[in-house]
Structure 1
Amino acid sequence: MNTKILFRSLLLFFFCIVKINAQEILTIENAVKIALENNFEIKMASNNLDIDKTNLAIGNAGMLPKVTANLVDANRIENSTQTLQNGTVNTLDNAKNNSLNYGVGLDWTVFDGFKMFARLDQLKELQKLGEAQLKRTIILKISEVNAVYFDLVQQQQQLSALDTTIVISTQRLTLAQNRFNIGKASKLEVLNAQVDLNTDKVALLRQKESYANRKIILNQILARDSKVDFKVVDQVKVDDKLILSELIALAEKQNPQLESEIINKRVSELQLKQIKANRYPRINLTTGYNFLDSESSLGFTAAFSARGFNYGLRASLNVFDGFAQNRNEKIAKIQLDNSKIAIEQQSLLLNSELSIAFQTYLTNLELIDLEETNEAIAKQNLSITVDKFRIGTITTIEFRAAQLNYINAKVRNSNAQFQAKLSEIALKELAGNMTF
């Protein structure tokens, strides 16, 4: 009988090992890589940047001429009466007249108060703005992947802690049953051990549910099938070398939100420059080559044709437009002032957020050291309690208290590491330095 039980146990253990090895070990680096390749928000932001790149063209700025091909085919059938100077009257019913006019024309704005150059510079700034927005989308997505990933690491650690408590509770139930069988314990002690074991099993099931749901959420962020199974690493590594002054300096250079506000200010400056350009004259060169063929059933000329080249210059100047020019310039200046205020506001907000996040980061680093110490003490206390429980020198209540203290210490330690990691992620996100 013992041989059969041993064989079944070894077979079950082997099966579990094979199943675990079959699962994908998803590292944070691979998770970020998958997100950058598949995430829908990043793809849309990348497409928007492609639109900005496509719009950056001298033709879109108005620097190139416009060439137009024209064709006019006009036909008439009418009853005509024609009276000549000598009194002769010519009459013709259903007289046919047709005219065919076709050619190519060119219209080129050679001067518009330098508006076209300002427009080209504005298109360049808009492309930079698209790059900053894509960068911000990528940073936010990397931060989200990190947060969900290390939440999974924390929950995986809590699963391990709950597995441990079930082992301890099972051992306690076995000891209580053995003591009851030899008359050294009451039935109540066995029942209490059984209730506590069932309570631990319920907690484990709840934790497994939470862990499975977070895996689905991570798969969703990675834009892959929610049924893809994987495991995460066992530990949370926190970067404890961050320095506030360095983070602030990085943020001033590469925070995408601050960068966007600076670009928006430049766009506003160029918009004002374009509006001011309307005070200058607009000069256009025109040229073309046309063909004209016409036929008339009545008149001095039965047929007419012409071929020729035309050219000219057109100049226009806004003399008075109901003070619209002044209003537009005033509005553009106000918008420029708003963009300057937005930069100051974003810079102040960024420094405040960094300072707050850094203080939380320092606190969480201290909590890690404290909770690691608490876990070690709780583990030692539980070991002593188990030995005392075996020889019957402590009550089941004391045993359960020591057991819960140890499990809670492990959970708090895991949570402290996770919270410190979240603080690290927040700081790097604000600094625009979010990688893995």
Structure 2
Amino acid sequence: MLKYRFGLLSLLLFSLFLGAGEAKAQEILTLENAVRIALERNYDIKLSANDERIAENNVTRGNAGMLPTVTGNLTNNNTIQNSSQTRADGQVNEVSWGQGSTLNYGVGLNWTVFNGFAMFARYEQLQELEKLGEANLQLTILTRVGDVMNTFYELVQQQHQLRAYDTAMAISRLRVTTAQNRFQIGKAARLEVLNAQVDYNTDTTNLLRQQELYRNTQIRLNELMARDVNIRFSVPDNILIDDQLTLETLSTQASQQNPSLKAAILNRRVAELDAKIVKANRYPVVGLNTGYNFNRNRSALGFSTLSTGNGLSYGVTASVPIFNGFNQRRMEQNANIQINSAQLQLDQVNQSINSQLASAYQTYLTNLSLVRLEENNQRIARQNLEITMEKYRLGSITTVEVRDAQLNYVNATVRYSNAQYLAKIGEIALKELAGSLNL
């Protein structure tokens, strides 16, 4: 009996490491490496990082309208025309195809020194938009890292199920061999051989389907890491679950770190600054201008055929809005409505996060309980399978009972891996909502 138990243990270990030979030629992808590769290559993260850099580049006083503008100007016009001029004494001067030209060039400076403080509100708004870009980048990173971790642990779960199906197929192969040997010596009917072969074919089909699912999940993870989707790899088998999470701590972290909540707060602030910019249109606009210009005029006919000049010009411009068809009032009303909408969106996001946290936390607690339950069920199913296989060797049990024990073990293993996976996914979702997702 000890010899047979050793044989069954060897069979299960064989199925456990069935893919070891293939795995040697494959990459062993750890979670840390998967996340690192995704952070470096994922297209969504790169695109969001570019948007954040644009928002950062936009934070300048010049973009806010606080600095002067300097322009260089050049104008050169030429004419060819017939001209006639009659002087006061009756003398007539005529020129045919006379040439003339006008040349002007110089440098001018324009500077708006006051526009109702709109430039200061705009500069502050640009700073808030930069923070909004950072919050959006953080949200993209959290989302894509969460996707990578979910897919990674999905692969771990599928590896567990692959081994369960490997075990089932190995046992079915043993049953086919045993049934054929018993049939040849006249101790079993042909029906036992056929039943064993049908069960073996069923387990082979299940294994092939699971292998297909596993390969497709590999492709999906490669896509998230933005690398060649044809790369084959394996992942470590362990799923470590953080079972110390508390709803109170998660809620506190979410109120401080959740990027969606940060973005909603920043959007409200941007709307408030928009209202300031609109209200600034009620105030005068004062500007300074100065420049240095050179001009030269040449004509074929006239009192002066050539004149030149150069020098400095300067001045002040001011404008006061008086009436614009009540558009100012309309724009201010709309700006206040936008502030109200931004506040409503903030309240909505906050409520949604709290709702998702409460729901996800309850699911997380349920899955933790299921992990403990299914772990015990798998242990019992394994013991039952060992006892059943021993009885099958002694010929004191039917093949139907063997098949039941075999399926019970496979199903218990699958349920246990599913429970582990769902508990881990729940943990990741909670930490993602709290903005505290890490390795």
**1:182 is matched with which residue?**
185
Decide which of 75, 78, 91 is 1:75's aligned counterpart: 78
Letter in 2 for 1:94: W
1:97 Cα deviation from its structure 2 partner = 2.0
Give me the whole-angstrom Cα distance separating, in 1, the residues matched to 2:78 and 2:181. Answer: 114
Secondary structure of the 2:139 match is helix
**Range that drifts further, 73-82 or 253-262:** 73-82
Give me the whole-angstrom Cα distance separating, in 2, the residues matched to 1:267 and 1:91. Answer: 68
Q: Deviations over 1:124-158 (max 9, x none)?
A: 11111111111111101011001111111011001
Structure 2: runs of 5+ lacking an equivalent: 1-13
Matches within 5 A, 1:128-139: 128-139=131-142
**2:42 is matched with which residue?**
39
Matches within 5 A, 1:120-269: 120-269=123-272
Give me the whole-angstrom Cα distance separating, in 2, the residues matched to 1:301 and 1:429. Answer: 81
Decide which of 416, 419, 425 is 1:416's aligned counterpart: 419
Q: Deviations over 1:397-436 (max 9, x none)?
A: 1111111011100000001111111111111111111222
Maintained 8 Å contact 2:78/2:100: yes
Give me the whole-angstrom Cα distance separating, in 2, the residues matched to 1:384 and 1:296. Answer: 118
State the aligned residue count: 424
Matches within 5 A, 1:342-421: 342-421=345-424
1:385 Cα deviation from its structure 2 partner = 1.0
1:15 Cα deviation from its structure 2 partner = 12
Secondary structure of the 1:305 match is strand
**2:100 is matched with which residue?**
97
Secondary structure of the 1:60 match is coil
Secondary structure of the 1:386 match is helix
Give me the whole-angstrom Cα distance separating, in 2, the residues matched to 1:170 and 1:19. Answer: 21
Q: Structure 2 vs 1, CA of residues 16 and 331 (structure 1 numbering), >3 Å: closer, same or farther?
A: closer
Decide which of 272, 287, 292 is 1:289's aligned counterpart: 292
**1:10 is matched with which residue?**
none
1:18 Cα deviation from its structure 2 partner = 5.4
**1:8 is matched with which residue?**
none
Give me the whole-angstrom Cα distance separating, in 1, the residues matched to 2:355 and 2:230. Answer: 41
Q: Deviations over 1:284-338 (max 9, x none)?
A: 1010001011112211112111111010000011111111111111100000010
Matches within 5 A, 1:3-22: 19-22=22-25
1:120 Cα deviation from its structure 2 partner = 0.6
**Range that drifts further, 90-99 or 129-138:** 90-99
Maintained 8 Å contact 2:23/2:233: no
Secondary structure of the 1:326 match is helix
Maintained 8 Å contact 2:165/2:206: yes
1:114 Cα deviation from its structure 2 partner = 0.9
Give me the whole-angstrom Cα distance separating, in 1, the residues matched to 2:323 and 2:87. Answer: 49
Q: Deviations over 1:163-216 (max 9, x none)?
A: 111221222223323333333322211221121112111111111111111111
**2:432 is matched with which residue?**
429
1:370 Cα deviation from its structure 2 partner = 0.7
Letter in 2 for 1:178: N
Structure 1: runs of 5+ lacking an equivalent: 1-12
Given the two structures, how large is their TM-score scaled by the length of structure 1? 0.94
Give me the whole-angstrom Cα distance separating, in 1, the residues matched to 2:419 and 2:93. Answer: 107
**1:339 is matched with which residue?**
342
**Range that drifts further, 422-431 or 351-360:** 422-431
**Range that drifts further, 294-303 or 88-97:** 88-97
**1:4 is matched with which residue?**
none
